[in-house]
Chains A and B, each alone.
Chain A
Amino acid sequence: MSIAKPLVDYAKSLRPQKGFTQSFSAFKKLMKYHRRYYWFVVAIVILAVIRSVLFSVEPLYTTFIVINVIGPPSNLSLLWGYLVVIILAGIGYAISNFVLIFVHGVMSQYIVRDIRTEYYRSLQGKSFSFYDSVAVGDLTSRATVDLQLVDMFLRTWLGTILNAVFTTIIIIAIILPISSIMTLISMATMPFIFYFTARLWIDTMPLFRNMQLIMGRLTSYIQQNIVGMKTIRIFRREKDVVDGFKEVESIYVNTAISAGKIQSIYMPLGPAILTLGIALVYVYAGYTLGIPGSALAVAQVGDIILFARYMMRLTFPIRDVSQTLGTWIAAYAGLERVLEITDAPRNVEDSPNAKDIKIEKGKLELENVTFGYAKDRPVLNNVTFTVHHGGKIAILGATGSGKSSLIYLIPRFYDIQTGSIRIDGIDIREFKLASLRKQIGVVLQDVFLFSGTIGENIAFGKPSASMDEIVQAAKSARIHAFIESLPLGYDTPVGERGVTLSGGQKQRVTIARALVGNPRILIMDDSLSFVDAKTEQEIQSAIEEATKTRTTLIIAQRFSTIKTAEKILVLENGSVAEFGTHDELMAKNGVYKKVYETQFVQKASPILDEAGGA
């Protein structure tokens, strides 16, 4: 099967859907975000009225100049007065326009900020299961690229729509007293313009939506390709990758061209129809001018010029509205992608009566614990065991046996389905999440360090930690000497742009990080495989020191780790296969003994299985 098959199938499966109602509900949601900025909206409405009024002054007064200054009869003395009015109105227009753009822009920034903050907060609360199934790049691009599209719409939308409405109203108010029939004729084109603008919107919206969906998938496809380039090279799948990409790209191009075809038909139509309206006015004027005694026979040339000029002025707001509708199509798809995440329920939450509870001793009990990522497929089945305070349990099991899942249940990274987990006799769901997690030291399998200094990273769990506490933790993790050897010591920058630490060094920093709060319970996913003997010994010594006085659950890859454990728990297909001390299990002559003999005795640096497995 080609690597790209799911993507190609997805792109092919997209059918243009009428997204009108969805778009409407997305718009309503967007309006909700405007509520906080009520006064901005009011200011924009007022400014839009002023702007539209002042915008209409110039054509009116140039017509006055034509009628009253040029005449006949000509009267040059009036010219200056009219010019002053035009200038003043122009300045007023320029200023109100400037203020409106600015106020609108500020409001858009505040709203985008609110949407993004809400999105970020919701991400903070999502559980590990959520993060197991999403790509970080995709989540980031929703908050940046997609919100940028929303921003583009928010910057101008209200001003543009109000401008079209008010300008039309004011122009009608000015031309109606001159000739109601001519007004009717010139406005007769309006319904057609509305109709074609709506058609443009309704017909292209599903296409643009599909384009954005394809583009989103294509982007994560490219990301996966680049991140996993090594694997692709090893398995020689380069051609597959490119062929699939080209196929989807061509679907995108075809959709874009179809959308372009619709746009090219409808977009220039509005102004064209409006201009035809002007021709109609001329025809009518010409016709009535010819009838002696008719209303227009005595009307002046200036009136007809006025009509024509105002009609031409209307083309700008109409064009802007159709452009704003275009930005809405993009914004709507973007907003949907953001809210989809924000509105998704969080699955691990504080229970209503949760409290801050201090863990005094750290006795850990698991009773009939059953857990699965999907309801009907349990990863752990009826797991029961107890660790006395200060006790140390090593967990052994093949990939997929449920080791990581088991230890991650203690700080509630996932919630169990049935059974109970108790610390010092108290169910963990009675703890507030933050209270529970702050008191459990966790060393994750993935040794992630934030950009910042080594010191900041060690103090991550307790930003208020003193230098002494940091050094103490580093000493326990056997990394202090190394840090001191760096020119900047604890102030050495690490992370993506800082110094490069080896895997073993990183792991010891993460152990130090877990120790800073002096937690009663320590959970370690020691799955770091493929390290050299010296590093292994250093890590080992760090683990030994760190676990001395703490209740510890540790996923062990090395015999040296297992050796120091008080008891060993062997997991098989999500159930406890064996539980006891090394000697007890050896005497039992079961799974443990087999693993011990085949894996640990024969190999110098034994590895039970590859790192991995939830």
Chain B
Amino acid sequence: MSGSYGTFSTKQEERRKRTVPDRVLIRRVYEYAQAHRTHLMIGISATVAGALTGLASPYMHAIAIDRIITPKNLSGFIWWVPLFVAIIMGNYLFQYIQTYQMRVVGENVVAKMRDDMMEKLQVISLRYFSEGEAGRIISRPTNDANTVRIFLRLGLTSILLDLSSILGAFTIMFYLDLRLSLFAITVLPVAIVLVWFLGKHSRAAYRRTLITTSGLTARMQEDLAGIKVTQAYAQEKETEKKFLKSQDENVKATIRAILIGSSYTPFVIGLRLIGTMIILFYGVNAVLTGTITLGILVAFTEYQFAYFMPLVDLVTMYDQYQSAMSAIERMFDVIDTKVEILDAPPERSIALQ
């Protein structure tokens, strides 16, 4: 009972709905990235190019099977191997550029936002710093900034990479064989609905862990703030009991979230399997009737792999995206706070005699 107040307020904090639309937030972050526009553009182009060169690999295998190995036309390797190596080197180079450039942009953008926040904190009215509020304000240039930093470091490039992999895989599949592509993507709508539905549950479970984590943090913070009182009255056992209870709640909620979060992987794998079955079943018949080549069939099974994984990745990324957006909103909240007391302009300032 005594611990409920800290938890209650953080609960409200976590549940607070976002009010600023994503596109506004993205535009404002982009304004920060403007100073590093060249890096950003090179980074994005490299990400797309990296995804596409990555996708070229199964197609190259299809070519090797159909034009070189099956007809035993081995001189083909003379052009195939250098081309393949060139594509791999290109892929490596693009990944290198992408990782580096996006890091430069991400770190600088977050640093600038933090600098702006710190500058603003020095001039806003002192009433924002009242007792109960300190923890919340502190978390903006620290925890929130960290969330955004991690998102920009890993999440953003993953999203770009996943999107271009999916679109690229589809393009290549449809180019290779229209009919087989249509068969291959029959499971897609089911997969999207299923993953979305399960994702919703996993997000709810994840949010619960956030709430219990805040409760645990509040508990710890208070226990330590009052540790001298606790020791003075030799009540360490009592406070520990409450702490362990709060920790157990957190452990339970996290285990539940892990259970729900991991429960959709079997479904996704199952659906991918069904997709592979469909491809193999129709593909084998098509190869036998001569509609498609063996290389294309093998390439298809690989491409199916190539778009399914990013798809799952994208859905799991949704949480990260959402929490990054909330963090960005809170950071701009500080940056946009109106200054109530401003210094008089220099020409009107008066020197004390």
A residues whose Cβ falls under 8 Å from a Cβ of B: 58, 62, 65-66, 69-70, 74, 76, 79, 83, 86-87, 90-91, 93-95, 97-98, 101-102, 105-106, 109-110, 113, 116-117, 120-121, 123-126, 128, 131, 136-137, 139-140, 143-145, 155, 215, 218-219, 222-223, 225-227, 229-230, 232-233, 238-239, 241-242, 245-246, 249-250, 252-253, 256-257, 260-261, 263-265, 267-269, 272, 275-276, 279, 282-283, 285-287, 289-290, 301, 304-305, 308-309, 312, 411, 413, 433-435, 437-438, 442, 444, 446, 448, 450-453, 456, 460-461, 463, 493, 495-498, 513
Contacts and interface: CB of A to CB of B under 8 A. Distances in A.
B255 A83 contact: no
Contact of B1 (A98, A282, A301, A452): A452
A201 B79 CA distance: 37
A289 to B, nearest CB: 6
Closest 10 CB pairs of A and B: A452-B2, A260-B103, A264-B99, A461-B233, A105-B258, A268-B95, A238-B122, A497-B5, A94-B266, A94-B269
Contacts of A239: 122
B132 A497 contact: yes
A242 B236 CA distance: 40
Given A264-B100, A497-B8, 12 more contacts: A94-B270, A139-B224, A230-B129, A239-B122, A261-B100, A276-B85, A279-B88, A286-B74, A305-B61, A305-B298, A312-B57, A452-B3
Interface string B67-104: 01110101011001100110011011001111110011
A218 B297 CA distance: 56
A413 B255 contact: no
Contact of B137 (A97, A226, A495): A226
Given A136-B221, A144-B216, A493 B231 contact: no
A109 B251 contact: yes
B80 A282 contact: yes
B121 A451 contact: no
Nearest to B269: A94
A301 B65 contact: yes
A352 to B, nearest CB: 19
26 contacts: A62-B280, A70-B288, A83-B281, A98-B262, A102-B262, A105-B259, A106-B258, A124-B227, A124-B230, A128-B228, A128-B231, A136-B224, A140-B224, A219-B142, A222-B142, A229-B122, A272-B89, A282-B81, A283-B81, A286-B77, A289-B69, A301-B65, A448-B229, A452-B5, A460-B233, A496-B131
A160 B68 CA distance: 37
Interface string B189-221: 000000000000000000000000100110011
A267 B254 CA distance: 30
A223 B138 contact: yes
Interface of B: 1-3, 5-6, 8-9, 57, 61, 64-65, 68-70, 72, 74, 76-77, 80-81, 84-85, 88-89, 91-92, 95-100, 103-104, 107-108, 111, 114-115, 118-119, 121-123, 126, 129, 131-132, 134, 137-138, 141-143, 146, 213, 216-217, 220-236, 238-240, 243-244, 247-248, 251, 254-255, 258-259, 262-263, 265-266, 269-270, 273, 276-277, 280-281, 284-285, 287-288, 294, 297-298, 301-302
Contacts of A260: 99-100, 103-104, 107
Contacts of B223: 120
Nearest to A267: B99
B122 A241 contact: yes
Contact of B88 (A76, A95, A276, A287): A276
A312 to B, nearest CB: 7
Given A58-B276, A249-B111, A264-B100, A140 B221 contact: yes
A229 B126 contact: yes
A430 to B, nearest CB: 16
A513 B97 CA distance: 64
A600 B270 CA distance: 85
Q: Interface of chain A, helix or strand or loop or mixed?
A: helix
B262 A101 contact: yes
A279 B84 contact: yes
Contact of B269 (A90, A128, A411, A453): A90
Contacts of A106: 255, 258
Contacts of A451: 2-3, 5-6, 222
A155 B288 CA distance: 46
Contacts of A241: 118, 122
Nearest to B302: A312
Nearest to A124: B236
Q: Interface of chain B, helix or strand or loop or mixed?
A: helix
B288 A74 contact: yes
Contact of A301 (B70, B228, B231, B240): B70
Given A289-B69, A312-B302, A110 B251 contact: yes
B6 A497 contact: yes
Contacts of A450: 2, 222, 226, 229
B301 A62 contact: yes
Contact of B121 (A155, A225, A257, A290): A225
A32 to B, nearest CB: 20
A155 B259 CA distance: 12
B65 A305 contact: yes
Given A229-B129, A241-B122, A250-B111, A444 B288 contact: no
Contact of B232 (A140, A301, A442): A442
A79 B281 contact: yes
Contacts of B225: 136, 448
A448 B222 CA distance: 10
Nearest to B102: A260
Nearest to B3: A451
B5 A448 contact: no
A459 to B, nearest CB: 10
Contact of B95 (A215, A264, A301, A442): A264
Residue with the highest number of chain A CB atoms closer than 10 Å, among B68, B121, B238: B121
Nearest to A98: B266
Contact of B115 (A245, A305, A460): A245
Given A83-B280, A86-B277, A137-B138, A282 B228 contact: no
Contacts of B251: 109-110, 113
Contacts of B270: 90-91, 94
B247 A140 contact: no
B115 A222 contact: no
Nearest to A269: B92
Contacts of A309: 298, 302
Nearest to B92: A272
Given A268-B92, A463-B238, A257 B221 contact: no
A453 B2 contact: yes
A498 B8 CA distance: 12
A370 to B, nearest CB: 23
A419 to B, nearest CB: 22
